[in-house]
Amino acid sequence: MLVGYSPGGRTTFVIRSKLEGVCRWLEFAMCKYAQLHGIKKPIFINAGDGSHEHPTQELLDQLTFVERIKRLNREAGGSPSGGYSPIGIELNDFHGIHVALIGDLKNGRTVHSKANGLRVFDNVKVDLIAPGELGMPEAYTERMRSLGYDVRQFPSLEEYLDQDDVAKIWYFTRLQLERMTDDQRERSAILRRAVSFDASTMMGKLPDGCKFFHPLPRDSRFPTIPFEIDDTDLNGWDEQSRNGYFLRIVLLRGIAAAGPSEVQFDTDRRCGNPRCVSNDVNGQREVIPAMMKDSAVLMSCCLTAEYREMTDDDEMAVDGSRRPLWWILLLTLGPFGVSFGFALQFALLTPFGMKLGISETMSSYLWLCGPVTGMIVQPLVGRLSDQCQNKWGRRRPYALGGTIVLLISLFLIAWSLDLGVLL
């Protein structure tokens, strides 16, 4: 935590946690607290939340990739890159990228951030290399394809190198043993073999200019990148980690100077990620800003493209329950049935109602209509306002407006029936 780091004296929190969604949840919860008490809003930076995402790592990876592409373009033009040196970045350096993501793609949060992060490039080709049970979650692959990425999947490095179109940028992640099941840990040696680079058999299959990157740390006991290639030209992670130092300096300075966004409000929606901290702390719900609904911001919270939002006709609650459309209609029409029943009872007591000539049996039925309907649907009425809240971020305007419209419609129907009886 940095206190008074920014020019405005704002407090900055850099959060690295096992809890998914905790940084985004705290950011907007604390901003509400700051507004309530008239103090400056704190700043939150997500330095990794569980197996969800790692946006700050993604920023330094992007910088490293762009510099690598710049060097490859320079070498292709006949100008050697020399050693490490700052390279000016131009717009045409973002024209395209071909990257291979290798390792535990299911539990590795750094590769998850690339679903949104690689969109800074115009033409993106991603090769996902992992055994099936450690493959990239479908939500992220769908996100990549929706953004126009060319996505290919391979079960092992051996099969990947058996084809001709091999990327020059390789991004490894270690096996996240602490997040695996007991069965997966027992077979970790087999799984690791599928995503480990074997210099003795694979070195000759690499394309010219290939570079390996890794978010670090590497597993010192069973590294997917063998230590004997640390001093070779394949080593790109040293430069990558160096970029992290400078990028985080700029990140702290830039975010602290800009301050948190002022466009914030509590939508009280349920997060689609069942592991999100907002679904695990006293039943509290995810809080997100309005701008995040369709945002291209890299620092995404749990309730974005990778997790489907709940809708009126298909609510994905935390416990996995689903609410079909007929259920929502029942909740919507229930209160109106109660109101209409009591309106009929009142109408029978008026002189106009006496002229209708309704039989005593029918009168008794109408008297029971309201209370019986109320007994059936009243326990479910609260769900209507919840649906309005989840869908539109507010309860009363939509619920009240819908009630008025339907009551007017029912009154007109009843009035036409009354005219028919009188005629």
Nearest to 47 by CA among 110, 116, 114: 110
* CATH number of the domain enclosing 138: 3.40.50.1370
Residues 79 and 196 in one domain: yes
pLDDT at 268: 47
Distance CA 176, CA 310 (A): 30
Examine the fold and report which residue of 241, 275, 290 is the final residue of a domain before the chain moves on: 241
Q: Is residue 276 part of a domain?
A: no
- What confidence category does residue 395 fall into, taking pLDDT thresholds of 50, 70 and 90? very low
**84-116: string of b/e by CB count within 10 Å (b at 16+)?**
eeeeeeeeebbeebbbbbbbbbbbbbbbbbbbb
**Do 75 and 172 share a domain, yes or no?**
yes
Is residue 147 in some structural domain? yes
Residue type, 295: S
| Domain contains 158 | yes
Distance from C-alpha of 20 to C-alpha of 37, rounded to nearest angstrom: 28
Task: Please identify which residue in the block is written with the tokens 């103090």.
Answer: 39
State yes or no: pLDDT of 248 exceeds 80: yes
* 41-61 pLDDT tens trace: 888 888 888 788 888 899 999
Is residue 264 domain-resident?
no
Tell me, what's the pLDDT at 35?
A: 77
Say whether pLDDT at 116 is over 80: yes
> Is the model more confident about 12 or about 237?
237
- For residue 163, give the DSSP letter: S
**pLDDT band, very low/low/confident/very high, at 89 (cuts 50, 70, 90):** low
Higher pLDDT: 245 or 318? It is: 245
What whole-number percentage of the chain has pLDDT above 90? Answer: 27
Q: Express each pLDDT in 253-293 by its tens digit.
A: 887 666 655 544 444 445 666 666 655 443 443 343 333 33
Nearest to 392 by CA among 400, 333, 23, 20: 400
Tally of domains in the chain? 2
Which residue did the predictor score with more confidence, 14 or 292?
Answer: 14
Say whether both 234 and 96 belong to one domain.
yes
pLDDT at res. 272: 61
Distance CA 286, CA 283 (A): 10
406 lies in which domain range? 325-422
Q: Which residue has the higher pLDDT, 220 or 236?
A: 236
Once rounded to an integer, what is the mean pLDDT over residues 374-399? 47
322-362 pLDDT per residue, tens: 344 444 555 555 555 556 655 665 565 556 555 555 544 55
Q: In this structure, are 212 and 348 located in the same domain?
A: no
Q: Which residues pair with 43 in a beta bridge?
A: 12
**Which of 269, 300, 308 has the alpha carbon at shortest distance from 287?**
269
Computed over every residue of the chain, the mean pLDDT equals: 71
Residue 278 is predicted with a pLDDT of 58
The whole-number pLDDT of residue 182 equals 83
Strand partners, 99: 126, 169
pLDDT for the residue 101: 97
Domain stops at, among 223, 241, 259: 241
Same domain, 234 and 346: no
Please give the structure tokens belonging to residue 404: 């008025």
Question: Which of 214, 241, 268 is a domain's end point?
Answer: 241
d(CA 9, CA 40): 8
